[in-house]
Amino acid sequence: MVDYQLSEEHEQLRESVRNFALKEVAPVIGDYYQREEFPYGIVSGMGEMGLFGLPVPEEHGGMGGDYLALCLAIEELARVDSSVAVTLEAGVSLGVMPILRFGTEQQRTTWLPRLASGEVLGAFGLTEPDGGSDAGACRTTAELDGGEWVLNGSKAFITNSGTEITGFVTVAAVTGTRDDGGKEISTIIVPAGTPGFTVAPQYSKVGWNASDTHELAFADCRVPEENLLGQRGRGYAQFLSTLTEGRVAIAALGVGLAQGCVDECLRYAEQRSAFGRSIGSNQAIQFKISDMELRAHTARLAYYDAASRMLRGQPYRKQAAVAKLASSNAAMDNARDATQIFGGYGFMNETPVGRFYRDAKILEIGEGTSEVQRMLIARELGMPA
């Protein structure tokens, strides 16, 4: 029989992160969001808790936990704020995991302890201004010259790429031509501050305003040949693997946002009065909040299923796509309903649901659009490509 009851260790972690989110994040994150400022103090606190090192082995300075532990932490943070949650999600699933999965022992020794402690953040350089969902359309190039890779090109919408604690960006680049005439794509670690590596000003975004997102440019940017991550020519496969894994984590973020909408509406429905009684006594409000809880609960089961399959070493590509699609739908629907329940107050940026509404949309786009998830599910069902 399938049992999704959390272990004692997972439940303790969930509760610990929940308390941190309520006590350390909730009281201050609105100001960071309004100023579009990266919350270094909060991120430092997350590092001290070991959150960035949850799935990292102890010999590399991590907590020696599993990927489900990371997802639980992301969900609890997202119940309060998605900017903080995505900083952790991208920092680990897109920053730490490529080094852990594909790095040499030297690369792991160099980067993992600092990544696991939150001292530095890693970024994931795949998307390009003209690429979008077509990662195979990569135009950034890297050529070997005198024992160094010389990179030229640009990347767009890269999370955690321009903070004061960004340590590197793992860049997908064309390094040659395959035997079949296609592009040979490899991944290369480019440390922050490398000459020729330029970080553009922070984007002005609709949501996730307290997170860090930039366009990057590489102009004759040189790094040592040993900065190749994994096997040459396997970069595209590595990134697909990383994205599949990351979809489980971003699904947890979507569930957290959806559950956060329920949390806020329950409080508001009890406090807000209209026509002489609390609005929570109205069946229409009760039904709407019940539907919101249904969406969050169902999406949570979807990501639990994908995570459990991952941890057992079973195929989970379809389940990850299902979880990502279900959670982003739940987040969007719940954010819309929460805003409606709050009325005019829901349209104000200083309220959590105002932020939730702005933050939800990107979940249908980032780390694989909803259309891409449907395509992946269809292919896993055996339908033609």
Active site residues: 367
What whole-number distance in Å separates Cα of residue 242 and Cα of residue 4? 24
Tokens 């440019």, residue located? 217
CB 33 within 8 A of CB 84: no
Residue 197: partners with Cβ closer than 8 Å, 6 or more residues away: 151, 169, 190, 216, 217, 218, 221
Q: For residue 345, count other CB atoms closer than 10 A to its CB.
A: 14
Sort 301 into a burial class: Cβ within 10 Å, 0-12 / 13-18 / 19+: middle
Nearest to 17 by CA among 253, 216, 212: 253
Nearest to 183 by CA among 141, 226, 242, 120: 141
CB 187 within 8 A of CB 15: no
